[in-house]
Amino acid sequence: MFTTLLIANRGEIACRVAATAKRMGLRTVAVYSDADARARHVAACDQAVHIGGSEPRASYLRADAILQAALQTGAQAIHPGYGFLSENEGFAQACADAGIAFVGPPVSAIAAMGSKSAAKSLMEKAGVPLVPGYHGDNQDPDFLKQQADIIGYPVLIKASAGGGGKGMRIVESAAQFTDALASCKREAASSFGDDKVLIERYLQKPRHIEIQVFADTHGNCVYVFERDCSVQRRHQKVIEEAPAPGMTEERRRAMGEAAVAAAKAVNYVGAGTVEFIAEPDGRFYFMEMNTRLQVEHPVTEMITGHDLVEWQLRVAAGEPLPVTQNDLTFSGHAIEARIYAENPEKGFLPSIGTLNTLDFPAHVTFTNGDIRIDGGVQAGDTISPFYDPMIAKLIVRGADREQARARMVQALGQIRCVGLNTNIAFLRRLMLDDAFATADLDTGLIERRNASLFPAAQATPPATLALALAALLADRGLTHSNLKHNRVQTDPWAQADGWRLSGRSTQSFELLDQGELIRLVMERDGSNWTFVHGTEHRPMEWDVTQGSQGRHTVRVRLDGTDTTATVIVRHQDVHVFLDGSVTILNMHDAVEHAQDEGSDHGGSLTAPMPGKIIALAVKAGDTVKSGDTLLVMEAMKMEHTITSPIDGTVTEVFFGTGDQVTDGAQLIAIAKAD
């Protein structure tokens, strides 16, 4: 076994690998970019080396800088994590040439599976079933369209060298094909340096099931059961679980043996994942093989009790697998939810900002518990535009699927995150959705259940408003309340209870609730308090326990019902965490609101986040219709298409292709049509 391991990655996977390496007694080395100088993975390792600028191309994709860091620190092995250089055959070869162990498969296996097209041809020869499609080398757009026409719509365009949902588009008709192909090729070239694509028939109501395989240098190869990764948004996984619901032993064995056959066909070594698309009737087809550890590996660890990173390190050091196929068993059910900085209500648009508050429920960092958190950021860190917007992975285990789901609902409701938009409330709705609860799963579940997963906004309940008001009063220094039954103040001058000589007092706040201006008032008359909202007057009792940094535990009694919540007052926002969801109310700025009301934003478009302009579809003088594509931005490793909100004429384009833009920058001006 080597003694020093360099981890050529960042964020939660770098922290995850470091934890196992340290438990095994290995010295760990981190690498970091300008943006990650104070990142959590840097502190998690024994040594850290700066390798370049913030953009991945200037740091985490620089094989030369990473190899130099390994040589400089005496690392005998490099763990690439996932993403970045983890499936780059050139990097794996460079490691071998430098005499450094690459914790991954042989170069030949990466090369064989690195091209989806070549991999599918290889799998066809090995007898692994394939989805009908075109996987050849001819990349002429007209030829590819002809192939799509032959296959029949809808078709799926996929980047041949891709993964993670990047460079992938569903095309419903021939009229959409050309634009979708161009977008796919741009995204593929940007993410993987290769714009080659393949075309496949898009299956209706398919499930995405993957098999974890593991092989060593002694000829042993096993499958470590399956994971269901069907719940996706933008072709990226959101929820993963193991075992797959409804999986029979017969089908598990068939898929497992097919996965092992795929691995043996390329003389595989190490951890890999063979991904299948499965139809409702039980038929399954090979999609691709990921020659690395998967983001969702924790659910397999939770049900088997095996540390897959430890297996990787031992296999890379030449040791045999610790188990045979007959030794492998699992128990219970595990579910993983990916917590992202994004806004589900706005098409899952990534969110950028500082994590002012980030609290998780009590958890473990490996398998000896029912709740596990794999994270790479902490309170005070910034989610930047340079990398994937994942905050953490929440993994839970139960005796069965229903218990695991219930624990996930509870755990999601205990997270406190303030500072940017997240998908936490969406994930909780997903867990509670009837389709997910009954395991009616397929890759289109989120779109299919749109109405229940994205319910119309409702008026904020009076109890929630009362909780916010009590917290705001506490922020003003009013801490005494009529629910503090067991707290006796002996000094009357120490009582911050809003006492007035006349016995009466009124305090009010103006807030924006979902964009609507509301006024909340607390009236006091002697020992009686009244909550006033609009025309409603309700007797109220309340108690606030203050914490640090604007955090309060608030209890109110309204209409005879007690409600308790965590309320965080941060800058101009009041966050009420109640019943597993969060309500955000904004302190009203009268001057700013008046300016907003007097502005007409219909004629200008601003950048929704920092990013790069990668394609312009219009120029000054062009006539556009509502919904027309204006430009395409690249941010956080994904393309985002900006469309016209109105019919009109483009009067000015403020940036060109290749320009970097900041959040909120005006991109295009449009004169509204008469």
DSSP reduced 3-state for 209: strand
DSSP label at 244? P
Cβ–Cβ < 8 Å for 454, 473: no
- For the record, the structure tokens of 184 come out as 């796919």
Most confident of 158-162, 189-193, 537-541: 537-541
Burial annotation 441-471 (CB, 10 A radius, 16+ → b, else e):
bbbebbeebeeebeeeeeebebbbbbbbbbb
The pLDDT of residue 595: 39
* Rounded average pLDDT over 494-500: 50
Give me the domains of the chain, ranges plus CATH numbers. Answer: 4-103 (3.40.50.20), 132-201 (3.30.1490.20), 207-453 (3.30.470.20), 462-591 (3.30.700), 600-672 (2.40.50.100)
Distances (CA, A) of 126 to 82, 123, 201, 210, 269: 26, 5, 21, 18, 18
How high is the mean pLDDT of the chain? 89
Cβ–Cβ < 8 Å for 120, 286: yes
Strands (DSSP E) contained in 202-250 are 207-215, 221-228, 232-233, 236-237, 239-242
The pLDDT of residue 42: 97
Residue found by looking up tokens 């990534």 in the block: 350
DSSP 558-591: ETTEEEEEEEEEETTEEEEEETTEEEEEEE--HH
The pLDDT confidence band at residue 580, using thresholds 50, 70 and 90, is confident
Cβ–Cβ < 8 Å for 366, 372: yes
* Rounded average pLDDT over 430-446: 96
Please give the single-letter amino acid code of residue 523.
E
The pLDDT confidence band at residue 643, using thresholds 50, 70 and 90, is confident
Helices and strands: H and E segment counts in the chain:
18, 41
Residue found by looking up tokens 């394939």 in the block: 130
DSSP reduced 3-state for 189: helix
The pLDDT of residue 479: 62
Instruction: Give the residue numbers marked as catalytic.
Output: 292
**Nearest alpha carbon to residue 607 among 666, 558, 528, 529:** 666
DSSP label at 492? G
- For the record, the structure tokens of 591 come out as 């001057």
13-17, 45-49, 77-81, 151-155: range with lowest mean pLDDT: 151-155
Cβ–Cβ < 8 Å for 577, 566: yes
Query: Exposed, middle or buried: residue 434 (CB in 10 Å: 0-12, 13-18, 19+)?
Result: exposed
Q: At what angle do helices 401-413 and 424-432 cross, to 10 degrees?
A: 150
DSSP label at 364? B
Q: What is the pTM of this model?
A: 0.82
The pLDDT of residue 660: 84
Cβ–Cβ < 8 Å for 453, 433: yes
Alpha-helical regions (H) of 273-400? 297-304, 308-316
